[in-house]
A and B are shown apart, each in its own frame.
Chain A
Amino acid sequence: MTTTDTPGTTADVPRARTAEAAGAPEAPLSAAGNPIGFGRMLRKEDARFLRGQGKYVDDVQLPGMLHGAVLRSPHAHARIVSIDTSAAEAHPKVRAVITGAVLETLNLAWMPTLSGDVQSVLCTDKVRFQGQEVAFVVADDHYSARDALELIDVEYAPLPAVVDARKALDPDAPLIRDDLEGRTDNKIYDWEAGDAAACDDVFSRADVVVTQDMVYPRVHPAPMETCGSVAHMDPVSGKLTIWTTTQAPHAHRTLYAIVAGLPEHKIQVISPDIGGGFGNKVGIYPGYVCSIVGSILTGKPVKWVEDRSENLMSTSFARDYHMHGEIAATREGKILGLRVNVLADHGAFNGVAQPTKYPAGFFHIFTGSYDYAAAHCNVTAVYSNKAPGGVAYACSFRITEAVYLVERMVDCLADELSMDPAALRMQNLLQPEQFPYTTPTGWEYDSGNYPAALTEAMRIAGYDELRAEQAALRADPDSTSMMGIGLSFFTEGVGAGPRKHMDILGLGMADGCDLRVHPTGKAVLRLSVQSQGQGHETTFAQIVAQELGIPPEDIEVVHGDTDNTPFGLGTYGSRSTPVSGAAAAVAARRVKDKSRIIAAASLECSPDDLEWDHGRWHVKGDPNQAKTIAEIAMLAHGTLELPDGMEGHLDAQVVYDPPELTYPFGAYISVVDVDKGTGAVKVRRFIAVDDCGPRINPMIVEGQVHGGLADGIGMALMEVIAFEEDGNNVGGSFLNYLLPTSMECPSYELGQTVTPSPHHPLGVKGVGESATVGSPAAIVNAVLDALQIRHADMPLTPAAVWRAQQGNPIRTDLAIV
C-alpha cells in the first residue's frame, strides 16, 4: 500500500481515519460497535431493504389512485396524420386520454430539456424516434390503462430516418428538427477546446503519429428499477406532490415550476428509495409530466411506471460518440500531443444534462493522465432519429468517453512503437511534483501520485509473470485460447461546481446542508443529494460522527424530499461526497465551533482554554472539567446565558460551493482469455487500484468500485443499443440489451493509494463512477492484446471478436445484417 499526502491548503484537513491511511488512528467505536467517524460500518439502510420494506415509487399506493400508460410510436420518423382516441375514451375504466393536442391547450406539449433545447411531451407534429410519447391514458387500474392503449388509432405517414450519425449532416439527410425556427440541417453545435495551432505544430514535428477511429456505442444505464412517478395535485390546497424516481429532487421541483407554470412553493418532490440511477434518473421524462397533467385533469393521484422496454427505448441513453483520435510521440515513446474529432449523436432532442459552459460535458479532459506539449478536441453534435438523453450511465459528464479514447490511443501508440503498454504509460504519466497540474485544455488537477498507483496495480497483478505466461501461450501451437493483458489509467474530475462555472439550466451546482443537534445530543442531517444505493444514510452520518463525536447511529440522515431538505442539485457526476460531503463537514465544524463557546460559557473559561477530545470539550490540562456534545446540546437549548450575539440551539446551515473539482484516479489491469475458435471472451482477473483520497467507509467504497467494474465488463463485452436502417431499436428489452451476470464477472482484486484533495475539507474525492469510467478501456485493451489487433469497437461479443480476427469488423452502432 502506498500513501501519498499532499499538503492541504485548508489548515485542518484531517488525516484519513481508515485503517488504510498510514499512521492514522482508527475511529473509536460507539457502544453499538460502529466507528465514530471513518471506517467500515454496516449500512443503516439495509435493515429495511433486507426485509422487503424499502419504499420505491411503484410501492406508493394512495387512496383513489389512478394508473397511467403511455402510447409510443412504432416509427422512428413519421408525421402524425390523425389520432382517434374515441374507442379508448369509451372504455369503461378509462378516466382520461391525453394527446399532444390536449397538452397544447395547457401549453405543455413541449418542455425544456436540460440543455436549452425543447422536447416533445406528447407528439403534436411528427414523431422523431421509435418509442416517442404519443398519448397518455389514465384508467382505474394498470391493466385497463394498458388495454386502452390498444384502442387508440394513430395514422402515421413514415419519413426516412437518420440512424447513422455519420450521415446526419449529409446534404440530403432528412431534417429532424423542423420544429425549430430557421433550422436547415441536423447539426446541434460545434465545440472545441485546446490549442489547434499548437497541436498542428507538435504533430508536424513528431517522429510518430498514430490515428484511430473508434466508436463508443450507445449504451443504457438500465437501473433495475425503471422510471416512474405518482403525481397528486390536491384540488383543494393546490399543492402538487410527486413521488418520483429522481436523482435531483430539488432541480426537478424548479423545472416543474418552470414547465408547468406551477408555484414552486406548492410543489413537493419526494424521491423515495431509488432502485439504481446511474444517471438515468437525472432528467425529466414526458411520463412524469403526463402523470401530473393526469392528476390535474382527474383530481386523483396518478401513477405511471414505465416497463423495461420503455426504459431502454425512450429514457436517457449514454455515449454514442464517434471519435477520430490522433496521438503524436517521439520514437522513444515520449507522448507529445493528442487531438480528437468527435461526432456526437444526441438523438432527436438535445437532452444531455451538463453544465451550460460545457456542451460536451467534461470530454475535454481527454488528455487523461499524461503530460503533453499540446492537445485539441473538436466535438460536433448532431440530431438523429433516436431517443434523446446523453449524459448518463455513471459517465462523469463524458469523462468515460475521454478516458476510453486516450487509453485506447496510448495502446495504439504502444503497438506502433512495439513498446510494452505499461512501460509506455509509466514513461508518460504525470509526476507527483507536477501537481497541481493544469492540462492543455485547462483543467487543474488537484493532487495525485500516478506512478505509485500504476506500480501498485502491476504488483498485485504480477505483471511480469503475466507477460511471461502470455509469451509461453503464444509460443504454443496447440493452445486453444489467447490470453490478453489490458491496462487503463484514468483521471476523473468530479464534484461539480464550482457554481460560477457550472450549472444546470442556470441553477448553480452548489448544495445545501442543514445539521441540527437536538437537546439530547442526537442529530438530524438534511441533504439535497439523493442516494440511489450509495449508502448516504450511513456515510453522511459517519462524516458528522467524525467531526462531532456523535455515534453514527444517533445521526439521522434525511434526503429525497424537497419539503424537508435544503436546496441543491442532487446526486450525479460522483458529486455527493465532494460537494454535500464537504457541506456536511463544514456544517459539523460550525456546530463544533459553537459548541466550544457554549462549553466555555458553561465551564466559565475562555474558549481558547478548551481542548477537543472525541466528542467533548475539556479544559486544557484538566480532562475532568469537560462538557460532552450532548451536554452542550442541552445547554444550547436550555437556560444558560449565552455570549452576546449568540443564538440558542445547536444548528448550522451550509451551502457548499466547491472551489474546484476533485480528481480521483486509478490504475486498472484486466486479464482475459479468448477462445480461439469462437471468439468468446472470459475475464479471468480484474485488478483495480483506486485513489479517491481518504475512504469514509471503505466497505462502501469497495462496493462502488465492484459495481463499476461490472459496468465496464458489460459495456466492453455485451451492452449496446443498435438500430436498423429504418430506426428500429434492436436493444429494446433485456433479451437483447444484456447486463452482465455473476457468470461474466470475476472476483475482483482491489488495491488503493491515498492522496487527499487539498481543497476538500475531508480530503475526499468521490468514487461513484471511477470504475465505470476506467474499466472499459482495460478490458478492450486486454482483448485486443490477446488478438494482437490494433482496434475493434465495443461491445466485443463473440461475433465481434471473430469478425475482428477476420479483418472484417462489425459496425456495432448499427444492427447486424
Chain B
Amino acid sequence: MKNLIISFLAVLVLGFSSCDVVEEPYFTEFAIPETEKKVLLEDYTGHLCVYCAGAAVEAEDLKELYGDNLVVIAVHAGFFAQPVPHDPYLFDDFRTDAGEEWNDYFNVKGNPVGMVNRIEYADGYLVPPDRWNSNIVDALEEQVEARLEIENSFDEETRTLTTTIKTRFLVGIADPVNLMVCITQDSIISGQKNLEPEIGDVPLIEEYVFMHMMRGSLNGNWGEMVTDDNPVQVNKEYTNTYKQVFPNDWIPKDCHVVAFVFHEQTKTVIQAEEAAVLNE
C-alpha cells in the first residue's frame, strides 16, 4: 500500500515539477535595436477575411513602434481578396499581379498571415500576426548588408512618377540580387469584413481605412537584377530609375515607393526602404 501511494505521488510530483508558473508582469521590457537595418513586413490580407482588420492593427502598431526601421506592405491577394460583384461595400478589386503571384509562390492558404523579410523558418515562410513582432526583432538584429536610397519626383500634369533607387552593398553577396520596386497607398476607404468587435463593426466595417495597400509593381512581379555584375561589388553605388503613370485612383499624397533588395534564389530580403511619392 505504501509503495502504491508513493507511486501515485510520483505522478503528481512530475506534474508539479515540470511547470513554470509565470508571475506578473508578463510583458518584458525590450529595447528596440539601434540599427540601419530596415525590415520588410508583408501582411497578406483580403477584405473578406474576418480577422484581417485585427492583423492590420497589429501591423500599424508595429510600424508605430519601429518607425523607419519597418516597411509594411499590405498585399491583398488570394481567396479572401476577391471582389464581390453587386455588393456595395465589397466590390473593389485590390488584387495586383505581383501580389497574386507572391500569394501563390509562398503558398498562402489562409489569412491573416505575413512574412518578415521573406525569411524561411523551420515551418515555412509564413508567420501569424502574433509572431510578427518577435521575428521583426530578430531580423533587426541581423547585419546590415546594404543601404537603399529613394529619390522621387512627381509631375502633376502628366501624373508621372520618376523614382531613382540607389543601392550600395556593405558586404559581398555571391548569389544574384534582385531589386523590387512597388507602390503602396494609405487611407483607402472601402468595406472590410470583421469578426472582432474591439476592432470595429461586426460583421462588416463599411468604411474601413486601408493602410500600406500594395497598388502595383514598377518592375515586374519579382523585380530585376540590381546589376549585371555578378556578384555585386562592395561599396559600389548602383542606380536604377523607373517611371510610372498614376491611374486616377492612386492618390499621390497617400502613396509611397517601397523598394527592397533580395536574394533572387531564396527570396530573402536584404534591406528595404520606403519614401513618400510627394516630397514633404
| Genuine A/B complex | no
B-binding residues in A (CB < 8 A): none
